[in-house]
Structure 1
Amino acid sequence: MPHSTRPVVSFSASADILIIGQAPGSKVHASGIPWDDASGDRLREWTGLTKGQMYDPGQVALVPMGFCYPGKASGGDKPPRPECAPQWHGRVLEVLPEDRLTLLVGAYAQTHYLPQTRKMSMTERVRSFDQFLPDFLPLPHPAWRSTIWMRKNPWFESDVLPTLQKLIAQRIR
């Protein structure tokens, strides 16, 4: 890797909300705190979680597809390293409660955990969110580009976000 290796993950055996994202960005790599950037702010807004709730590993597990910052590419960051999820996710999931809500944030998490949907677009997966409940809820990545995506897909705010916030509220202590 062109920079230091710094895995960024947070979880405990009592977390019954699991957020699986892509990979840490450069700001998160620098801070070592998952979702410690504008995308994290937007994700908290979508979920209704406070910072205290989101960063309480006893309530919320924060697990990326790639545990370390993959570096820059043209147009953004490189994709998550492909060896991370197969090597580490099973070990993390063994520790978490079986009855959990898993938010699949972005296409990488969705295609990994919903392989039957590989031919669907991320938008189609998110629009069909209720097909994957109660175990999974697919979401777009909350990067700045999601504001453009949300304008094109107003059903996300009217249909998906209220369900997401209700499910989170049922599980948060």
Structure 2
Amino acid sequence: MQALLAQIRACRLCAAQLPDGPRPVLQAAASSRLLIVSQAPGRKVHATGIPFNDASGDRLRDWLGVDRDTFYDAERIAIVPMGFCFPGSGKNGDLPPRPECASTWHPRLLAQLTRVQCTLAIGQYAQAGVIGDQRGRSLTDTVQAWQYHLARGVLPLPHPSPRNQLWLKRNPWFEAELLPVLRQLVARTLSRG
């Protein structure tokens, strides 16, 4: 696992397409029990090299009911984005994750995460990669079908970005119904040896 992580962190596969240059950001260990599949690092995460080290991460940790120490314990939690590097900014926020990462690295990396008991698919790009054809027509449709997906080991979530405040206001069921289940699931998953 350590050799593979070193190879990923040294990856320069799409360097020419990355406006800020490559800086693969992820965390994983063979013992990880919770897998967070996200979209791609943002500009702040790119600057620090620490996954979810921004306002999105603060909200995500609140959703999960974990502190920073727990969240950044790779022995318990793997964070594997669809794109490992910051893809750059567009008119409406960050650009989509570069496709090379998932196709090049995910099969090898995910094959080594044999102790994962639950996967969280955060945002539409992660849901496309993890859930594939089983996802709904929209992110809302996919997240509303969380019980169906959870029965298959994947819990779809919206992105915790502050930009999604309107989505959260329009979908109060997310906080009322899904978040308590998410917190229980994470606590149970992380407490297992």
Cα displacement (A) at 1:2:
1.9
- Whether the aligned pair in 1 keeps the contact of 2:22 and 2:85 (CA below 8 Å) is yes
Identify the residue that residue 68 of structure 1 maps to in structure 2.
Answer: 85
The one of 99, 102, 105 aligned to 1:88:
105
Task: Say whether residues 1:171 and 2:189 are aligned partners.
Answer: yes
Query: Sequence identity, in percent?
Result: 48
5+ residue gaps in structure 1? none
Q: Which has the higher helix share?
A: 2
**Match in the other structure for 1:161:** 179
Is 1:149 aligned to 2:167, yes or no? yes
One-letter amino acid of the structure 2 residue matched with residue 64 of structure 1: P
> What is the identity, as a one-letter code, of the residue corresponding to 1:50?
D
Matches within 5 A, 1:8-23: 8-23=25-40
Deviations 1:86-112 (A, max 9, x none): 111111111112552100000001011
Query: For the pair shown, which has the larger CA radius of gyration, 1 or 2?
Result: 2
Q: Once superposed, what is the RMSD of the aligned Cα atoms? A: 1.2
Please give the secondary structure, in 1, of the residue aligned with 2:121. Answer: strand
The equivalent residue for 1:103 is 120
In the alignment, the residues of structure 1 paired with residue 115 and residue 187 of structure 2 have an alpha-carbon distance, to the nearest angstrom, of 18
Q: Secondary structure at the match of 1:2?
A: coil
Name the SS of the counterpart of 1:132 in structure 2: helix
Total equivalences in the alignment = 173
Unaligned residue ranges in structure 2 (runs of 5+): 1-17
Q: CA deviation at 1:120?
A: 1.8
Are positions 1:132 and 2:149 aligned together? Answer: yes
Say if 2:60 and 2:160, in contact at 8 Å, map to a contact too: yes
Call closer, same or farther: CA 1:35–1:122 in 2, change over 3 Å: same
Matches of 2:132 and 2:112, distance apart in 1: 23
1:37-77 deviation digits (Å, cap 9, x = unpaired)? 00000000101011001100000001100000101111111
Contact map agreement 2:33 2:116 (CA 8 A) in 1: yes
Q: Do 2:40 and 2:81's aligned partners in 1 also have CA atoms closer than 8 Å?
A: yes
Q: Name the SS for the 2:150 alignment partner.
A: coil
Q: Which consecutive segments of 4 or more residues in structure 1 shift more than 6 A?
A: none
Deviation track 1:132-154 (CA, whole Å, cap 9, x = no partner) reads 11410000000112221111001
